[in-house]
Amino acid sequence: MKKVLIILLVLGLIGGGIGVYLWNKPHRTAENEKPVATLTAEDLFLKFSTDEKTAMTDYLDKTIEVKGTINAISTNETGDTKITLATSHLLAEISCLMKNGTDVSGIQTGTEIVIKGICIGYDTDVQLQQSVIIKK
Amino acid sequence: MKKLVFLFAVAVLAATNLDAQKYFTKEGNITFHAGTKVEDIDATNAAATCIIDAGTGDMEWSALVKGFKFKRALMEEHFNENYMESNTYPKSTFKGKIENISSVKFTADGSYKVKVSGKLTMHGETKDVTTDGTIVVKAGKITADSKFYVNPADYKIAVPSAVQDKISNNIEIVVNANLAELKK
């Protein structure tokens, strides 16, 4: 009888532990993911603007590494840091939302950067989120 | 003389048409409140594209579903995988019209009440939406605001009975955007 109670207690603790873990689970970020592709900002933009369907199959929800020239560094409405990379199109950029706590000190517009992020699709921009800086 | 008046009228019309500017942003905000008294379920997307044609009143919004940010990762995961199925339906759009566009003076600073109607597409389903909004014109820039409600069932978003008391069937969607003239 005592044994059964102990087993139930342990199971309960494990279940509760899993529940608490899931509830407080951290957001998925690009940090520890291996990129499925490495490409320039311009190439990424062209892939989406010329054949969105194929690009979506290749990159949606996947981590990719992008190299480009910084257009702007800003903080958006949800408090996230955003780094945009230039493309040849006037309005389109690669828009990278950075992972919480990303240090952007010493980063300047007009300079080159390599960013790894999770691709969430193409609207006006190709958007990456939970990104990290690979090389300044 | 008649001919002159006609020519003048044509010239005026042409000029108005040329003046008809488009306003644009790709940093529009869409926030929804899908929770009930039991639990808060809020998320914001700060990267929505919005374009308004000042001449015709045409208005378009689009947002990437995966761009909605939740405080809790688990909620974000459920939202994408179980409810919106964002791998299959990655984008939500609204295509509509500002019905009373002529009452908005884009050249004069002021706040204008507008009526908007159009089609909202999400989760692969398209439904008519009509709502009221405000357009504020200030120094050549405009701010557009609105709020409306949707029922997930209308968009074939199934809510399991186990969480039915947690997810509202009257989800509040708040949109606002600061738009600037789109240079051609």
CB contact under 8 A, B67 and A22: no
Per-residue pLDDT tens over the stretch A81-128: 999 999 999 899 999 999 999 999 989 999 999 999 999 999 999 999
Residue B164, Cβ density class (10 Å: 0-12 exposed, 13-18 middle, ≥19 buried): exposed
Chain B residues with CB-CB distance to A80 below 8 A: 46, 69
Q: What is the pLDDT of residue A78?
A: 87
B14: pLDDT strictly greater than 70: no
In which band, very low, low, confident or very high, does the pLDDT at B12 lie, cut at 50, 70 and 90?
low
pLDDT in tens, A37-49: 999 999 999 999 9
8 Å CB contact of B27 and A76: yes
CA distance A44 to A48: 6
Q: Do A123 and B66 touch (CB under 8 A)?
A: no
Q: What is the pLDDT of residue A23?
A: 84
Closest-CA distance of chain A to residue B19, Å: 21
CA-wise closest residue to B150 among B179, B110, B122, B178: B122
What's the number of CA atoms in the CB half-sphere (13 Å) around residue B99? 11
Tens of pLDDT, residues B103-148: 999 999 999 999 999 999 999 999 999 999 999 999 989 999 999 9
Question: pLDDT grade, residue B5 (50/70/90)?
Answer: low
Q: Which residues contact A34 (CB under 8 A, 6 or more apart)?
A: A63
State the Cα–Cα distance between residues A23 and A31, nearest whole angstrom: 21
* Neighboring chain A residues of B27 at a CB cutoff of 8 Å: 76-77
**What 3-state class would DSSP assign to A37?**
strand
3-class state of residue B82 by DSSP: helix
| Chain B residue with minimum CA distance to A119 | B66
Question: Minimal Cα–Cα distance from A29 to chain B, Å?
Answer: 11
Residue A37, CA distances (Å) to A58, A89, A117 in order: 9, 22, 11
- A28 Cβ partners below 8 Å, 6+ apart? A118, A130, B73
